[in-house]
Amino acid sequence: MSKERPLSLITGASAGIGAAFARALAARGHDLVLTARRTDRLQALADDLQREHGTRCTVLTADLADPHAVEQLCQTLDQQDLHVDWLINNAGYGVPGRFDANDWQVHADFIRVLMTAPTELAWRLIHGMRKRGYGRIVNVASLAGHVPGSAGHTLYAASKAYLIKFSQSLALENLETGVNVSALCPGFTRSEFHDVTGTRPLVSKMPGFMWQNAEDVVEEGIRAVERGEAVHVTGRFNRTVKGLFKLMPDKLALRISAKQSRRYRAQE
């Protein structure tokens, strides 16, 4: 890198894994571009990081469901002469219920936020990374992308599987460029995610050993992308689950998924 302080762009930075990435990278000496829909939370986080680490934080409020949001975001970066070294594609959420129980616009927004926006951000920013000979892209996927889909939250696992395959291909294309790409695949993580989707009463029944803290997930993710690991599943338990499902016949895996869906997915 040609500068002492890398610049990291984090989407969905207002809470959960996104906020944990902001804190971890600020502690490592990064300046930050924080984006999400909730300006007040972003600004509060920016103020904390400025006070604790001297981090220069640029707050850019954006709704990634807007088809023009990514282009406008990158135009603002160019206007402010901000060159992104680390891209953390973290923004995401779940849509509870059956596929046909939601309006199409709900699904269209979901696809744009979880698939289209991270892909477009990577495309718009990777040119500069390659030119400078350094970059890191972390696409926050999920263990759900490695196991059979569930009944309810119909597009969630599909979107995460897409991010995994996209990350693998992008990593291979950039092996000799100084740009590392990694899909980070956590399992159950303590955050607001399940409160927003209304599944907290369901998932709270899951045993404690199945859960990780956002800070631990982020630490694994940073180490993985620095190593050039194209896909990283966090936590020993989650890696075991991935391995077991990989060995199972599809029929058995789907049967188990159907049973588990009733425990932690809102299906109506």
What are the catalytic residues? 156
222 torsion bin: left (phi>0), alpha (psi -120 to 50), beta (else): alpha
Distance CA 232, CA 264 (A): 23
The encoded tokens of residue 199 equal 């599944």
Backbone angles phi, psi at 59, to 5 degrees: -100, 120
Local structure of 179: helix, strand or coil: strand
Judged on CB neighbours under 10 Å (0-12, 13-18, 19+), 122 is: buried
Backbone angles phi, psi at 164, to 5 degrees: -65, -50
Ranges assigned E (strand) in the chain: 7-11, 31-36, 57-61, 86-89, 135-140, 179-185, 188-190, 211-213, 231-233
Give yes or no for a contact between 133 and 177, defined as CB atoms under 8 angstroms apart.
yes
- SS3 string, 32-95, reads EEEEECCHHHHHHHHHHHHHHHCCCEEEEECCCCCCCHHHHHHHHHHHCCCCCCEEEECCCCCC
